[in-house]
Structure formats: C-alpha cells, structure tokens
Amino acid sequence: MTQRGRAVTVKQLPDKFNGRRERLFFRELEGSMNLERPAIVIDCTGLHVMSKSAIHLLLCCLEGAMKRNGDVRLAGVSSEAMASLRHAGADRLFRVFSTNDEAVESFQRRIAHTGMHPHAHCAGLASEYAA
C-alpha cells in the first residue's frame, strides 16, 4: 500500500514583533490554514525571546489549523523561548522539534487514530490567552 505524503507549509516566524508584522504573518498563513487538515511548521530559529505577542500569534495559528482538523508544530525553539512558552502554559499545546525537517516528517508518519484531536481540549485558548 502506498501512502501519499501530506503537504506541509513551513513558515519562518519573524524575529521581532509589532502589530503590523503579526497581522502580515497571520495573513500569509491563512491560505495554508484554510485547507482541509492543514499541516503547518513554524520555524522559530530567529526568535530568541518569546514575547506575549508571539505566543498569542502561535495560539491563533494553532486555533485556525485546529478548526480544520489540522495542526501547527514548532521547530528550532531556543531554550529561552521554550521557557516563555512553559511560563505561559502553551508548551503542552505544541509538538516541538529541533529542526524543520523533523517537524515536517512528523506530519508524514501515520499516527494512531484516537477519535480525538490531540489538542481538542484547547480550542478557544488563543482568545482566552489574549484576555
């Protein structure tokens, strides 16, 4: 049996954030999120410190993908950025990989169906975190 690979979008997270850059990044990802079962890898290698704004953006991307039964995975997260994710309680919502290639490959592997999306418990978290 041959299994066709899933299309995965890889996008570099900006190293600095402001409202304009955040909106632009999200808009650029919207096309990928509007697919059925979007598979998105966000490359965080350029971001050394994870601000509240960056975490909110990641949560919005995750929420958008989850609405279409997809997922967002992170790659290249620095130890400082990971500490910020942990402090915000968002680290448990993302699968984090060392490299983009590992994250992309994780979408290609067949995962046992459990009947529930692994992040189903966190729908709506992006809006809660922003409050």
Please report the domains of the chain, with CATH numbers, ordered by start residue: 9-109+118-130 (3.30.750.24)
- Beta strand spans in 1-131 (E): 9-12, 39-43, 71-75, 95-97
Largest CA distance in the chain: 48
Question: Which pLDDT tens digits describe the chain residue by residue (131 residues)?
Answer: 333 467 899 999 988 877 888 889 999 998 888 888 999 999 999 888 889 999 999 999 999 999 999 999 999 999 999 999 999 999 999 999 999 999 999 998 855 443 444 444 444 444 444 44
Amino acid at 51: S
Predicted TM-score of the model (pTM): 0.79
